[in-house]
Amino acid sequence: MSYSSARLFNRATPPHIVTLVLLAGVSAMNMSIFLPSLPVMTQAFDTEYGVMQLSISLYLAFTAALQIIIGPLSDRFGRRPIVLGALAIFAMASLGCYLSTTIEMFLTFRMIAASVAVGMVMSRTIVRDVVPMAEAASMIGYVTMGMSLVPMFAPTIGGFIDEIFGWRAIFLFTFAAGTGLTLLCWADQGETNQAKSVSFMAQIKDYPELFTSPRFWGYALSAAFASGAFFAFLGGSPYVASVVYELPSTTTRYLFGVPAVGYFVGNLISGRYSVSIGVNRMILIGSLLLVFGMAASLFVTAIGYGSAFTFFAFCTFVGLGNGMVLPNATAGLLSVRPHLAGTASGVGGAIMIGGGAALAALSGTLLEHGHGSYPLQWVMLLSAVASLVSVLLVLRREKAVRRA
């Protein structure tokens, strides 16, 4: 089965690239679509901002945990049944968020809605099922380039829905999106896992082969720390925009999409040049851009020229760096042991999202203690540096292997 054979609405072929883009896109949308409504929702549920922010950090934590389960299940039973089941659960959980009357009820359904993480795991895994590593990096770049358009516009769409119909209507919108995507995948997604594991025990016996690989951990940590800078932005930027710079919600809904502009460009570069430049070099360049952007942001703020404009403008580098790091690091970790691609995607995604949840919570906590935007900028810079160190370790390992 090859990707050139993919036909839309034909379950005998791999899912069409449009389906993969939407599968990854709805997963990304669900993270950020309600961000501009957080202050209003805090008042509606009569709670504190820190508690309301759990809808981001706890959601990311549940997403990380689910990815560990989703990957092995898809290696055992196939990609198609896992995708369809998880999307149906997501649609019903979105309806539960709409009907919630207490913060506890809302957070419960919000955590269940994390099942849509199947989109992030399976869109990458399906690509790796049918194409080799360098081509996978390129195609994942194109898939996530399309996906980057969703978080670019999701907060804006959510803001408009809130203004016209109220914040609850946002979750009717996600319910409709989940239902529509379930039907699309049912009609279009052919099974691409042609080497299902015989049993979970047989699968588990192969795990040490994956988890003792330094290259796997280098790729996974490079992706985790690069995305960690973005998740820290997600957790802290609403506070920076509304409290530090006192911006109205009508302005912030557009600023939340700034990193997605860079992410779109980074994925375009990955899709175009990953095959010719190479996976590892692309990760290195992306990590360097991440470090440069956040170091420049911190420097400009330190010398007294910090503003809402400079803060969000430099966050474009967060998106640009991630757009180059994530497709290539993902293709790398999926190729370490191809027969465990689902497990590798799930574990790698769990590390990314779990680290992101921790950094989102940390940035929110640090910001509440004052000092303007500095705490968030430092968290994002240190995460970017850690991504660079991780890819340097991969390069060092490969150099040692070549010598041997």
Residue at token pair 């999409």: 257
Output the furthest CA–CA distance in the chain (Å, rounded): 64
The rounded distance, in Å, linking the Cα atoms of 247 and 238 is 10
Residue 198's φ and ψ, nearest 5 degrees, are -65, -40
What pLDDT was estimated at residue 7? 66
For residues 156 and 255, the answer to whether their CB atoms sit within 8 Å is: no
Q: pLDDT tens across 315-364, in order?
A: 999 989 998 998 888 888 877 877 777 778 778 877 877 777 778 778 77
pLDDT at 200 over 90: no
End-to-end CA separation in angstroms for the chain? 36
The rounded distance, in Å, linking the Cα atoms of 151 and 26 is 9
For residues 243 and 311, the answer to whether their CB atoms sit within 8 Å is: no
Distances (CA, A) of 204 to 139, 197, 200, 207, 341: 29, 10, 6, 5, 13
Q: CA nearest 204: which of 71, 298, 13, 28? A: 71
Distances (CA, A) of 166 to 34, 160, 351: 11, 9, 35
What pLDDT was estimated at residue 95? 96
The rounded distance, in Å, linking the Cα atoms of 236 and 183 is 35
Residue 108 CA to chain centroid, in angstroms? 21
Average pLDDT rounded to a whole number, residues 163-171: 93
CB crowding 227-257: b at 16 or more within 10 Å, else e: bbbbbbbbbbbbbbbbebbebebeebbebbb
The rounded distance, in Å, linking the Cα atoms of 264 and 258 is 10
pLDDT at 92 over 90: yes
Residue 401: partners with Cβ closer than 8 Å, 6 or more residues away: none
Burial class (CB in 10 A: 0-12, 13-18, 19+), 323: buried
For residues 327 and 270, the answer to whether their CB atoms sit within 8 Å is: yes
For residues 300 and 314, the answer to whether their CB atoms sit within 8 Å is: yes
Could you tell me the domains of the chain?
Answer: 12-188+199-403 (1.20.1250.20)
What pLDDT was estimated at residue 253? 66
Residue at token pair 């399309």: 146
The rounded distance, in Å, linking the Cα atoms of 8 and 150 is 21
Q: pLDDT tens across 106-159, in order?
A: 999 999 999 998 887 788 788 877 776 667 777 777 776 666 567 667 877 888
For residues 49 and 331, the answer to whether their CB atoms sit within 8 Å is: no
The rounded distance, in Å, linking the Cα atoms of 344 and 335 is 9
Average pLDDT rounded to a whole number, residues 201-212: 75
Q: CA nearest 114: which of 36, 56, 172? A: 56
